[in-house]
Structure formats: C-alpha cells, structure tokens
Amino acid sequence: MPVTIASLALALAILAVAAGVTFIRLVKGPTLPDRVIAIDLIGVLMVCILVVTAAATAQQALLDVAMVVALISFVGTVAYARYIERSQS
C-alpha cells in the first residue's frame, strides 16, 4: 500500500506543477485563443486532479463531479470560440 499512497501524492504534485505552468501561459498569452486554450487545459487538469483524489479516497461522488466539470469546461470553450468568431466579423 505505501507504493500506492506515494504514487498518488506524486501524481497530485505533478498535476499541481502542471496547473501552475499552464497558468503562466494564461497570464502571458498574447492573443485570446491562447488564453482559451490555457483555460481548457486547466479544466482538463481539474478533471485529472479529481480523478486522482477519487482514487485516493474511494469516493464515487468525485467522479460525478469530474464528469460535470468536464461538461462545463467543454461548453465554456465552445462558447468562447463562438464569441471569438462573432467578434471578428
């Protein structure tokens, strides 16, 4: 079991570093599509963190939360893309 605990902690640490790295692009990003890509990736990283937490705590409800977060992230990304296309024409 210590192997599993250590690997879950390591995975959470790596995912936190990944979210921080993505946040740099969200702040820097020269154009709006860059920022939308960064937000989309942060949503996927949130789903990843929820899946690892569900594996660590054996809570099924966290997987439902991950599903809802994925759905809302997808809808938000599509809405941002439509907004970018509308604002250009």
Partner 1 sequence: MIEWFSSGLFVAGATLALLASIGVLRMPDVLTRMQASTKASTLGLGSLLLGLAIRHPELSFVIRAASISAFMLLTTAVSAHVIARAAARGGAPLWEGTIVDDRPPTGRGADGPPS
What minimum distance in Å lies between the beta carbon of 44 and partner 1?
5
Examine residue 33 and tell whether it contacts partner 1 (CB under 8 A). Answer: yes
| Backbone φ/ψ region at 59: left (φ over 0), alpha (ψ -120 to 50), beta | beta
CB 26 within 8 Å of CB 53:
no
How long is the chain? 89
Examine residue 1 and tell whether it contacts partner 1 (CB under 8 A). Answer: yes
Q: Which amino acid is at 21?
A: V
Applying CB under 8 A, the residues found at the interface with partner 1 are: 1, 3-4, 6-8, 10-12, 14-15, 17-19, 21-22, 24-25, 31, 33-34, 36-38, 40-41, 44-45, 47-48, 51-52, 54-55, 58, 60, 63-64, 66-67, 70-71, 74, 77-78, 80-82, 84-86, 88-89
